[in-house]
Amino acid sequence: MKKKFSKIQIAGFVLLAGGLSVSVAQAEGVNLLGTKEIVVKRAITEDASKCIECHAKKTPGIVEGWKEGKMAHAAVTCYDCHVVDKSSPMASQCEGIRGSKTFISPMVSSKTCSRCHPEEVEQFLKSGHADLSRAAIYDKNKAGGKLVALQIEHEGGAFMGVKEGSATNLASRRSGCQMCHGSEVEVGPDNKPINSSWPAGVGTLYPDGSVGTCTVCHTRHGFHVAEARKPEACASCHLGPDHPDIEIYIESKHGQIFLTQGEEWKWDSAPDTWEPGDYTAPTCAVCHMSGIGELTTTHNINERLKWDLVHKRSELRSGVRGDGEKGDALMRKVCINCHGKTHTEMTMKTLDDAVALYNEYWDRAVIMKKELAEKGLLKQDAWRDGFQELMYFLWHHTGRRARQGAAMNGPDYAHWHGFFQVFQVFKDMQDIHEWRTKNNKIEELSTVMSTGPV
Ligand code: HEC
Ligand code: HEC
Ligand code: HEC
Ligand code: HEC
Ligand code: HEC
Ligand code: HEC
Ligand code: HEC
Ligand code: HEC
């Protein structure tokens, strides 16, 4: 059975009676085709027009972008997303409305969107893109404080005397980690963001306690669904030596088809009606998010995952990370729209085997580390200790490339950037382990290049 269709449709424009009220008259119903609709009856109010008219002159780039999007055509305006209650911890006034009763905020979190898109936001908030993403760089307890130490003590130069917590010290977090993972937004006395804590990445925590920046995939102010369906929407974060997902995709057969045929694909079909035929190979969204065949669209990117291919040892997903068994079943339901059962079983088995091989390396590395620790043959500072540096590269760079390359059909990443380097790194670790054990001391200089295996 085909799933529900959720089609948002504007059923007509009814002028809302004056006043400041721009609340949306909204109803959910099922039409004769059995498709789900959100019916929005409204027009642009006088107050909302003022924002647009003035901003068309003052910030034309924003208004032009907005005009092109579907929401503008549905009369969703600046007012709907930026006007906040006076009591909001984010409430301020722009030049154009200073002294009036209207308050706005340049910050717009998923909470604003949830007024009209509750399902998408609920799914998003359960995913790794929300709290987990931000916690990865802010939680002082995570990984024994090592992740926060990486940004402040090491990268931020506190170890060589840069003042902890100073803007200089935090520059690495703010220009890097936070732009992908999200920040904890701080505001000043005028309720405007301070300390370079905004704008930021996907899991951002806003001053009113709400979480999530939807624009990372749906660029403001067009908010095009077509954009989010393209692999480029994920590429700004999912790239580089430690999670080269876009690189893997581009070298996969699917990426080859996207690059050669993608321009002819139909990108803007209604949600849950975007199906093979509109496209001939999957993009990131097709496998991880979009409705296809039996499956409906999800904003929870953990839903279709079996393994944890990001941490030190790959385990079946459970708890906040998802449900591995279920995830496996759902992902297979993606493939069978275009592949036979044999093909899907074969490729999924290849992933399981790659995970098992990687785990073999990791488990042996853990034993070596334990032996060195027991003999006092590890340096306190892991970043000055060749063995520990290599162990980091083993899982964080080479090991992830091998696992994610195997998962998404990127043989060059699975092999040359992956398992080939995994065994090299591992053998170097074995040599250091042996040397330290034989000489009962730690070599003075780290033998590892600071950039690691590229
Ligand atoms: C559908 C909701 C929505 C609508 C409609 C909307 N915005 Fe935004 N706007 C956002 C979001 C989301 C952000 C990003 C906020 C964040 O990262 O916290 C944003 C950011 C901004 C910013 C700050 C970023 C910057 O580049 O300076 C300004 C200014 C802005 N919008 C103005 C406008 C104006 C003017 C309009 C009307 C033409 C408008 N917006 C319509 C959602 C909306
Ligand atoms: C008469 C012109 C005018 C009107 C009307 C106006 N604005 Fe503005 N707005 C500006 C100007 C100029 C700026 C940039 C300077 C500033 O931030 O005060 C601005 C800035 C903003 C910002 C960014 C604020 C920041 O801190 O970066 C947002 C968001 C915004 N306006 C939304 C709105 C909304 C929503 C309305 C309608 C309720 C509105 N504006 C009405 C002129 C106007
Ligand atoms: C006042 C209600 C309202 C708010 C608030 C709102 N939306 Fe929408 N949104 C709509 C409506 C209505 C449509 C359908 C437009 C159509 O299909 O013609 C829509 C469509 C969309 C689409 C699909 C666009 C496309 O190209 O098909 C995206 C993506 C989207 N909204 C994202 C957001 C995000 C992100 C926010 C918060 C920053 C947000 N919306 C806030 C009402 C709203
Ligand atoms: C270019 C964007 C980007 C930057 C910059 C970045 N990350 Fe990430 N990070 C990601 C992505 C994408 C993932 C998910 C990879 C995956 O699932 O394979 C991730 C995963 C992680 C994880 C594992 C997930 C978890 O919740 O345990 C941690 C921890 C992490 N990053 C910490 C950091 C820290 C600390 C910094 C800065 C020193 C940083 N990241 C910089 C994009 C980035
Ligand atoms: C990781 C990227 C990503 C993020 C983050 C994201 N979206 Fe989407 N969104 C997509 C993709 C991909 C689609 C298209 C799914 C499909 O093919 O139908 C989509 C579709 C939509 C649609 C159209 C209806 C639907 O469900 O398909 C709405 C509305 C929407 N998103 C709202 C949001 C809101 C609100 C947020 C913030 C909570 C958000 N999105 C964050 C990728 C994203
Ligand atoms: C603004 C940066 C950003 C963008 C854009 C982005 N992601 Fe992510 N993604 C992250 C971060 C950060 C993480 C790590 C989350 C964590 O800490 O668990 C992540 C994790 C993931 C995960 C693994 C979740 C987990 O629990 O391990 C998947 C799958 C994923 N993203 C898919 C996508 C897809 C598909 C797109 C595009 C449609 C996308 N992402 C766009 C930043 C981003
Ligand atoms: C053909 C389907 C397909 C395509 C296309 C695809 N992926 Fe994946 N992806 C998978 C599968 C399968 C896995 C492994 C799932 C598992 O854990 O069993 C995976 C794993 C991941 C992970 C690792 C999650 C973890 O455990 O940390 C991330 C991140 C990710 N994909 C992001 C992306 C991005 C970004 C793109 C596009 C550039 C993309 N994927 C394209 C199928 C796909
Ligand atoms: C929208 C259709 C579509 C979906 C969905 C899809 N694929 Fe593919 N896939 C293709 C096409 C087309 C090819 C190229 C076949 C050829 O070589 O002629 C391909 C090729 C491949 C290849 C390269 C080996 C080969 O057959 O040539 C692998 C591996 C693969 N897909 C795995 C998967 C997996 C695993 C999934 C699900 C997670 C999946 N695909 C989902 C269309 C799809």
The residue segments making up the domain with residue 408 are 302-454
Same domain, 306 and 454: yes
Tokens 């034993």, located at residue: 367
Tell me, yes or no, whether 169 lies in a domain: yes
Tell me, yes or no, whether 333 lies in a domain: yes
Q: For residue 103, report the distance from its CA to the centre of ligand 2, in Å.
A: 10
Q: For residue 254, report the distance from its CA to the centre of ligand 8, in Å.
A: 6
Cα–Cα distance for residue pair 215/392, rounded to 1 Å = 32
Residue ending a domain, choose from 38, 61, 87: 87
Tell me, yes or no, whether 434 lies in a domain: yes
Tell me, yes or no, whether 297 lies in a domain: no
Tell the residue nearest (CA) to atom 3 of ligand 4.
180
Same domain, 6 and 149: no
Tell me, yes or no, whether 34 lies in a domain: yes
Q: What is the per-residue pLDDT for 446? A: 77
Same domain, 18 and 135: no
Same domain, 432 and 330: yes
Cα–Cα distance for residue pair 81/112, rounded to 1 Å = 6
SS3 2: coil
Tell the residue nearest (CA) to atom 30 of ligand 1.
106
170 CB under 6 A from ligand 4?
no
Same domain, 130 and 71: no
Instruction: Provide the number of structural domains found in the chain.
Output: 3
Q: From the alpha carbon of 282, which atom of ligand 7 is closest?
A: 5
Cα–Cα distance for residue pair 138/7, rounded to 1 Å = 38
Tell me, yes or no, whether 344 lies in a domain: yes
Which ligand does the CA of 172 lie closest to?
Answer: 4
Which ligand does the CA of 301 lie closest to?
Answer: 6
Q: What is the per-residue pLDDT for 447? A: 72
Return the amino acid letter for 236.
Answer: S
Same domain, 316 and 454: yes
Same domain, 52 and 127: no
Same domain, 73 and 131: no
243 CB under 6 A from ligand 4?
yes
Give percent helix, percent strand, percent coil of the chain, each to the nearest 5.
50, 10, 45
Cα–Cα distance for residue pair 422/206, rounded to 1 Å = 40
136 CB under 6 A from ligand 6?
yes
Same domain, 65 and 132: no
Q: For residue 225, report the distance from its CA to the centre of ligand 5, in Å.
A: 7
Tell me, yes or no, whether 107 lies in a domain: no
Same domain, 65 and 162: no
Residue ending a domain, choose from 60, 87, 114: 87
Q: What is the per-residue pLDDT for 341? A: 97
Query: Do the Cβ atoms of 75 and 13 come closer than 8 Å?
Result: yes
Tell me, yes or no, whether 35 lies in a domain: yes
Return the half-sphere exposure (C-beta side, CA atoms, 13 A cut-off) of residue 275: 12
Same domain, 371 and 453: yes
421 CB under 6 A from ligand 1?
no
Same domain, 43 and 143: no
Q: What is the per-residue pLDDT for 453? A: 67
How does pLDDT run along the chain (454 residues), one tens digit per residue? 344 434 333 333 333 322 222 333 343 333 333 334 444 556 889 999 999 999 999 999 999 999 999 999 999 999 999 999 999 999 999 999 999 999 999 999 999 999 999 999 999 999 999 999 999 999 999 999 999 999 999 999 999 999 999 999 999 999 999 999 999 999 999 999 999 999 999 999 999 999 999 999 999 999 999 999 999 999 999 999 999 999 999 999 999 999 999 999 999 999 889 999 999 999 999 999 999 999 999 999 999 999 999 999 999 999 999 999 999 999 999 999 999 999 999 999 999 999 999 999 999 999 999 999 999 999 999 999 999 999 999 999 999 999 999 999 999 999 999 999 999 999 999 999 999 999 999 998 877 766 666 6
Q: What is the per-residue pLDDT for 40? A: 52
